[in-house]
Chains A and B, each alone.
Chain A
Amino acid sequence: MYIYNEVDQKIVDERVAQFRDQTRRFLAGELSDDEFLALRLMNGLYIQRHAPMLRVAIPYGLISSVQLRKLAHIARTYDKGYGHFTTRTNIQFNWPKLEQVPDILAELAQVQMHAIQTSGNCIRNTTTDPFAGVTPDELEDPRPWCEIIRQWSTLHPEFAYLPRKFKIAVTGSPRDRAASQVHDIGLHLVQNDAGEVGFEVLVGGGLGRTPVIGKQIRPFLAKQDLLSYLEAILRVYNLKGRRDNKYKARIKILVEAMGIDAFRDEVDAEWEQIRSSELTLTDAEIARVKGFFQPFEYDASAAADTSLQQKLANDEAFRVWYERNTHEHKVVGYRSVVVSLKPQLEPAGDITDLQLEVVADLAEQYSFGEARSTHEQNLVLADVKNADLYAVWQQLAEHNMARPNIGTLTDMIVCPGFDFCALANAKTLNIAEQINRTFDDLDYLYDLGEIRLNMSGCINACGHHHIGNIGILGVDKKGEDWYQITIGGSDREDASLGKVLGKSVAADNVADTLKKILETYVEQRTDEESFLDCVRRVGVDPFKEKVYAAAH
């Protein structure tokens, strides 16, 4: 992974001192609420329903054992002993004290971490494939490009007061595991006819009140032009994006209003001016950053292991976990392990201080000292030897992180909702629990196969409900929590927005409604047809009929 040099360290250290002074001036009444709001947001600090919330950056989801232990320490010392992983692959703490935040940031800086630009109207954490660098289906490792973008976008003096937040995702594989099509900019590493690798560039995707799938603005961008092109897009957006209405301020609205062709012309005109400048990436710099992401020294004897097959044959629970919660690795003899943060009775994405330490230890012992966070709110140990999988599973199981539900209905993405979030319209955690209790039969879940269920507590869509195969959106009806259900969304390479099933359902009826939806799927599906494919083939109507017929 990327290791800080003196400059990187100085930036985070000076940033801590800067924020300490801003906090001091705010508490002394020298800084207005409005100014401190924008400044603290750029440092990941929100004021939530109960307390401040601090969001710590995990650049493109890559984290070391040392850093995980520091997060555990922060959870224990400054919070109530846990943290929460977000769909931006960051972690947030729900109970820090405002006056202690500078100290937390100072602790983070000791392990090359920070909270810079984890919120606010600026360029946010760049996200990528959690299997980057190890998945066999990859064209090229996207992480060096994420790091290059991280450096360019960090404390960018021009783009700190954008019309609205700005999110970039990079993928290196034809399989999209980063929801790149619903980002302000999606970058796909692709090969052109000449065999060169560059980027397909999408722009104007996003969720929230107006969900939009990103549009292609360039089929192929040469690698060395990456930053000049990004800067051109950002400059056009900064100058032209709407600032009169925060719900119309994202770049997607600008692109829709101008039309993609006119927007492209505008970007190209700007790009022409800066294309041949110091923004052009040098081969030496690309090589330097790539040097931090070289493949590990894998054990050549790992492939010869036979113990795994034996364990799989003898231990049914292990076999089930292996099938659901591990992922193919490009090196024979290794697998990537998904650490499930979707236990039955805890909020999705939550992790305790002890669990953080367990993952840190497992990473250190079995996976080259690194872990990744995923946008589905799980963790990944990317490089585990086949022979070690059993031991890893046992440890994870002991600490409630081995629920074999990855990719199934209960591997839900769930935002914190009304229990924590000041913007929420409805609770989400109770609904997730209801679903977990109703669908606790694993064989049934496996029979249903891959289903992405996403839930948000309001239209801001932090839980990505539009792009869940099943999406649940909390709405407020005369002070009561109701839930609108969509089906047919996808966050993959075939991204699509879900269609509304019908009128919203009461809180008590959510799991029952899902049952009817799933029964309909089982009735309608052809052999091997996934839920998503089935909905796409038969449309919403059969589901609608089943759900609402029964209600009369």
Chain B
Amino acid sequence: MPLLIDRQIVSDDSWQLVEEADALPQSGDLLLPLALYLEQGATLGERRVAVKVNGDDDLAPVLDALDRFPMIAIEFPIFRDGRGFSLARKLRRAGYQGELRAVGNPARDQLGYMERCGFNAFQFADEAFSEEFLNAFGEISVRYQGSSDDPRPVYLQN
């Protein structure tokens, strides 16, 4: 699936999304839905694990263990569901420094706002991606309000 990280097209993605406990592979980087992580996390030892959260999840256990995750994926199930924007801001505000990836159905015309809310990675369905998406980031070059990208409102930016 096409992936952008830090505004670059990336072809290698080591994270394997696993939805069921009995499908856990023996090796490799794991991306687990939060519920599955909470169930299996203790058994995974030192393995590299990322979690996938969505708007229905309680973020507290993730916020308590931010250092555990080199990557956190936030799901955008449909275009109009904007909860992921606030989840991203909460994670960045809590000091999360790792990769924050929008998955599910991030749309080209949301990428600019997503980046401002703290996402630095975006994963798309194959048919949903075009290289032209990279243009989306620069469309609005100035901003009034602070956000995760820059906490300063416009009047403190200079």
Contacts and interface: CB of A to CB of B under 8 A. Distances in A.
Contact of B89 (A121, A151, A153, A158): A158
A239 B55 contact: yes
B109 interface: yes
Nearest to B155: A285
A30 B60 CA distance: 39
A285 B154 CA distance: 10
Given A157-B112, A278-B156, A162 B142 contact: no
DSSP class of B's interface residues: helix, strand, loop or mixed? loop
Given A7-B142, A157-B116, A235 B81 contact: no
A279 B153 CA distance: 7
B80 A161 contact: yes
Q: Most chain-A Cβ atoms within 10 A of its Cβ — which of B89, B90, B152, B153?
A: B153
B116 A151 contact: no
A46 to B, nearest CB: 16
Contacts of B154: 7, 151
B142 A14 contact: yes
B117 A14 contact: no
A121 B80 CA distance: 9
Interface in A274-309: 274, 277-279, 282, 284-285, 288
A287 to B, nearest CB: 11
Interface in A220-278: 227, 235, 238-239, 243, 273-274, 277-278
Q: Most chain-B Cβ atoms within 10 A of its Cβ — which of A11, A34, A239, A282?
A: A239
Nearest to A274: B93
Q: Most chain-A Cβ atoms within 10 A of its Cβ — which of B80, B83, B107, B151?
A: B80
Contacts of B27: none
A238 B80 CA distance: 11
A111 B80 CA distance: 32
A18 B85 contact: no
A7 B155 CA distance: 10
B145 interface: yes
Contact of B85 (A151, A152, A153, A158): A158
A38 interface: yes
Interface string B15-45: 0000000000000000000000000000000
A155 interface: yes
B65 interface: no
Given A35-B79, A158-B89, A17 B139 contact: yes
Nearest to A238: B86
A156 interface: yes
Interface in B79-116: 79-83, 85-87, 89-90, 93, 107, 109-110, 112-114, 116
Contacts of A15: 140
Interface residues of B, number: 35
B109 A151 contact: no
B140 A160 contact: no
B109 A10 contact: no
B143 interface: yes
B141 interface: yes
B135 to A, nearest CB: 8
Contacts of B90: 235
Contacts of A161: 79-82, 85, 110
A288 B146 CA distance: 18
Nearest to B157: A7
A148 to B, nearest CB: 10
27 contacts: A11-B144, A17-B139, A18-B139, A31-B109, A34-B79, A35-B79, A35-B107, A121-B80, A153-B145, A155-B140, A157-B112, A157-B113, A157-B114, A157-B116, A157-B117, A159-B82, A160-B110, A161-B81, A161-B110, A162-B82, A227-B145, A227-B153, A239-B86, A243-B80, A282-B156, A285-B153, A285-B155
Interface of A: 7, 10-11, 14-15, 17-18, 21-22, 31, 34-35, 38-39, 121, 151-162, 227, 235, 238-239, 243, 273-274, 277-279, 282, 284-285, 288
Contacts of A152: 144-145, 153
**Minimum-distance CB pairs A-B, first 9:** A161-B82, A157-B116, A157-B113, A151-B144, A158-B85, A18-B139, A278-B151, A238-B86, A285-B155
Contacts of A160: 82, 85, 110, 113
B81 A243 contact: yes
A159 to B, nearest CB: 7
Contacts of B116: 157-158
B79 A278 contact: no
Contacts of B82: 121, 158-162, 238
A9 to B, nearest CB: 9
A155 B79 contact: no
B144 A154 contact: yes
A162 B83 CA distance: 8
A14 B81 contact: no
Nearest to B107: A35
A227 B154 CA distance: 13
Contacts of B142: 7, 10-11, 14
B33 to A, nearest CB: 18
Q: Most chain-A Cβ atoms within 10 A of its Cβ — which of B81, B112, B116, B139?
A: B139
B36 to A, nearest CB: 22
Nearest to B89: A158
Contacts of A14: 139-142
A277 B109 contact: no
B128 to A, nearest CB: 10
Contacts of B85: 157-161, 238
